[in-house]
């Protein structure tokens, strides 16, 4: 398997046809997995916004005041308002704002980015990243597309890429029922291939001014395994979320 960045992509603007820009720069093969950083999907979809677009309501002002008191740093209540408007649930509001976005992804600040957004204050995540992935896929000779974002993880320092949208492939490879080297049957292993590929692609894409938001994974083989559509956990089956909901910071 190899990974390479699509070269010479321009600064992406609202209305740009990402598939056409990619197609013009690389000869894709049907079984390539094209990994697109959410940042450029958002830019193309007009998700760059300004703090002035989010007049803060009472809940946002309360959240920002609390965060400001805890951190000692100035917190703009309009930013909290933007996070609330992108979210269906506030899971934690201190010492950072952790929410579920409208498409089911749980992340700090609803994944709203303040880097790589020329001319605007904020970049919201794509509204429905799997639909974005499907649209991009339609314009490409490659059969599989992932939309990625850089995200932190609980229990570990540092960030890495995750898949927030996918098309043309199931997110996970199901090992249940297969054997290990000792003949023991695997009972629970559902490997999130979409996240694994997204992490590798993110490693190639970089985080700063590299200008390489699209990475092609070539010769990745699924192998003889089942598929699983499970990606974002349902609230009911999410024990960690249920525990964190009852937790308060002081
Ligand atoms: P995220 O992980 O989706 O939040 O995206 P990042 O902001 O970390 O950017 C990922 C990569 O895309 C980095 O190499 C950035 O330099 C690059 N990038 C971001 N926006 C653009 C753009 O409009 N055009 C190009 N060519 N590269 C971009
Ligand atoms: Mn991001
Ligand atoms: Mn990134
Ligand atoms: Mn193992």
User: Would you say the CB of residue 43 lies under 6 angstroms from ligand 1?
Assistant: yes
- In this predicted structure, what is the pLDDT of residue 119? 92
Proportion of the chain above pLDDT 90, given as a percent: 90
Mean of pLDDT values over 3-27: 98
For residue 122, what pLDDT band results from cuts at 50, 70 and 90? very high
Give the SS3 label for residue 105.
coil
Average pLDDT over residues 232-243: 91
Ligand 1 in contact with 100 (CB < 6 A)?
no
Determine which residue's CA is closest to atom 17 belonging to ligand 1. Answer: 211
Which residues lie at CB < 5 A from ion ligand 3?
A: 150, 207
DSSP 3-state of 108: strand
Residue tagged 């590929």 (tokens): 197
Whether the pLDDT of residue 250 is over 80: the answer is: no
Report whether 76 contacts 64 (CB < 8 A).
Answer: yes
All residues at 6 or more sequence positions from 74 whose CB lies less than 8 Å from its CB, including other chains: 68
Q: Give span(s): CATH 3.90.1660.10, the chain.
A: 49-125
Pick the residue whose CA is nearest to atom 25 on ligand 1.
211
Q: What is the average pLDDT across 132-141?
A: 98
Q: What are 185-217's pLDDT values in tens digits?
A: 998 889 999 999 999 999 999 999 999 999 999
Task: Give the CATH superfamily of 1-47+128-232.
Answer: CofE-like (3.30.1330.100)
CATH superfamily of 49-125: CofE-like domain (3.90.1660.10)
Structure tokens at 60: 């946002």
35 versus 177: the higher-pLDDT residue is 35
Residues of the chain with CATH 3.30.1330.100: 1-47+128-232
94-99: average pLDDT: 94
Cα 80 to Cα 63, 75, 111, 206: the distances in Å are 7, 8, 12, 27
Query: What is the interface pTM, i.e. ipTM, of the complex?
Result: 0.98
Q: Are 199 and 161 in contact (CB under 8 A)?
A: yes
Counting ligands in written order, the one closest to the CA of 189 is 4
The mean of the pLDDT values for the chain is 95
DSSP, res 203: H
Best substitution site from 16, 26, 213 to test ligand 1's pocket, by max atoms within 8 Å of Cβ?
Answer: 213
204 to 152, 200, 243, 245: CA distances (angstroms) = 17, 7, 35, 35
Alpha-carbon span 6 to 19, nearest angstrom = 12
Which residues make Cβ contacts (< 8 Å) with residue 236, sequence separation at least 6? none
């Amino acid at each position: 398997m190899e990974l390479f960045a699509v070269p010479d992509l321009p600064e992406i603007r609202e209305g740009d046809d990402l598939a056409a820009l990619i197609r013009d720069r690389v000869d894709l093969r049907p079984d390539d997995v094209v990994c697109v950083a959410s940042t450029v999907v958002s830019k193309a979809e007009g998700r760059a916004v300004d703090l002035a677009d989010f007049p803060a309501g009472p809940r946002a002002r309360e959240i920002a005041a609390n965060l400001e008191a805890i951190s000692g740093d100035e917190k703009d209540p309009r930013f909290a308002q933007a996070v609330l408007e992108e979210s269906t649930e506030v899971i934690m509001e201190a010492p950072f704002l952790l929410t579920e976005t409208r498409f089911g992804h749980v992340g700090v600040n609803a994944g709203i980015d303040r880097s790589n957004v020329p001319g605007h204050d904020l970049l919201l995540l794509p509204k429905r990243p799997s639909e974005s992935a499907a649209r991009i896929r339609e314009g490409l000779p490659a059969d599989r597309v992932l939309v990625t974002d850089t995200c932190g993880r609980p229990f570990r320092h540092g960030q890495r890429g995750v898949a927030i949208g996918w098309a043309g492939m199931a997110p996970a490879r199901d090992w249940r029922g297969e054997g290990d080297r000792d003949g023991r049957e695997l009972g629970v292993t559902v490997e999130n291939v979409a996240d694994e590929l997204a992490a590798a692609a993110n490693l190639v894409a970089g985080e700063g001014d590299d200008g390489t938001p699209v990475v092609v994974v070539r010769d990745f083989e699924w192998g003889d395994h089942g598929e699983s559509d499970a990606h974002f956990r349902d609230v009911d089956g999410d024990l960690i979320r249920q525990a964190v909901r009852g937790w308060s910071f002081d």
